[in-house]
Chains A and B, each alone.
Chain A
Amino acid sequence: MKLELRGITKRFGALVANDHIDLVVEPGEIHALLGENGAGKSTLMNVLYGFYDPDDGEILVDDRPVEFAGPGDAMAAGIGMVHQHFMLVPVFTVAENVVLGYEPVKGGGMIDLAAARRRVKEISDRFGFDVDPDAMVEDLPVGAQQRVEIIKALSRDAKVLILDEPTAVLTPQETDELIAIMRQLKAAGTSIVFITHKLREVRAVADRITVIRRGKVVGSARPDSAETELASLMVGRSVSLGVDRAPAQAGEVALQVRNLSVLDDAGVRQVDDVSFDVARGEIVAVAGVQGNGQTELTEVILGLQQPVAGSVVLDGTELVGRTVKQVLDAGVGFVPEDRTEDGVVADFSVAENLILDLYDRAPFARGISLDPRKVQENAERRTVEFDVRTPSVDAHAGTLSGGNQQKVVLAREMSRPLRLFIASQPTRGLDVGSIEFVHQRIVQERDTGTPVIIVSTELDEVLALADRIVVMYRGRIVGIVPGGTDRDVLGLMMAGVPQAEAVQQAATHHTVLGEADIEASEEESK
């Protein structure tokens, strides 16, 4: 099936999310839609999927114009979509999820689960998905859940499959499996629209690449274009993808975490006997798939949660048992994982957010009286220093883009002398330009001698920043490896494979992305 978008325009008030976008997806091709967060990729796909009415332009399927009033029409026309956030019912089985909304019925209005199971089995076998139709979705790993979504789309005879940021939640090995699936689907004649902002993956699988910037198509590229070329097309200026950083000048050990264990409310062990050190002037990255205890680890250090065992000693001071306030006062800067939930108060002005954990100390407070002038001055200075793009320091933080909100959090946390800096997912959801800036600031902080902990689920980020890498899996430390460790080894360790075994396995089997790394480093050395 050939899919064509002609002159699609979608406005939200003054914002033009899509500006006359043309896109042709040929039968059996993998077409990558590359763009930064907020470039308009998702809007375009939501138009295509019938969620939004375009203000202008038309959609053609096999050269015939079509109109979609809703996702139902889009599905009927052979378009399937796998959302970044899966639309699955966790307590349903795979078969039940796949037929949800299109249940085959037997006599008497009963759902024909046998037919549903057969359908799942058939598709699963055809593409070698290895999915048990009777498994409960909540028990499946994320990669398998994604395959359920793909089966769901295929079971409705999708000829064009839209994958919205499909690799965001996957380990490198899972990504590899996904890439294999995409190639199989392509071979079977299914077209795939692959939405992403990850250059490496695009180069690995795409037949054609369309780059979108600020709602406009800014060009198309061939998959063998260089990464920097794609990046500058995507961002609109030349960017340096790596972080310039000198090797760490690690000093004496500043933070000692010993035998730390944390239970959640249900009594499940989220952090299990974790021990590691961080030295002055060193960045230690905690790598792992989301939900393997990293969040709890940082929250315990900050004092938001209490551990059941273990100690956290910073410069000779025990932090366990202290309140958040005391930990912050001890010189810990903390950038939370979820900035909208824990980092900023959306209703507060930028100026107020910049003193959220400094409001009751000099120079902002005298007794219990706030000094609005000092608050204002501080805000003017920090917004310039951290390049926060805001109409004014009185604007509500909620009106800022994610990148600028993150800069507000960083500016606040780095605006006092630190003995330890912790940042969780410091660049999640940021555009390339902001990522560059944030990474530079973190390295700068390290270079002043501050011990730094970065928690990231992004291997790219871990590899870009870390001097040492702590890999966590199910609350335990799988291993502590030096920065720059092979991506495939890290990926296997993130899946719980012990270090020695991971090194062995990785040596015999390279993932697509791991190979790209090696190629890149070989190119560099030439």
Chain B
Amino acid sequence: MIEFSLDKRSGVATYMQIVQQVEQAMRLGRLGPGDRLPTAAEVVGRLAINPNTVLRAYRELESRGLVEPRPGLGTFVQRSLARPRDPALERRLASWVREARAAGLGPDDIRALLESALSGGLTGEATA
């Protein structure tokens, strides 16, 4: 069962944090088709947030076609977002992160670099 956590300083709305955490867990294969999401009561009993926030997140996931409510039973993951794992690719990334850390980069620097690479802004050439 997935457990949610909240970052109160992120500026991301609480319901959206829940949406993102479910999607992330689905991408990483930690949640797959048929898995049940925690009930609103289970979530708010740990996070002390308004139950409507959880229901709103689940409605959003439903409208994205990712989960399906089954009355009286709960909310279930409908499909898989996980790609088959590629150990070689993961190994190279882990080793790159180690190098970046060794070079003195912090998590935010690393994320910024990754974002830049994803948007095609990294050429590997030195700029003046």
Question: Is chain B a partner of chain A in the same complex?
Answer: no
Residues of A within 8 A of B (CB): none
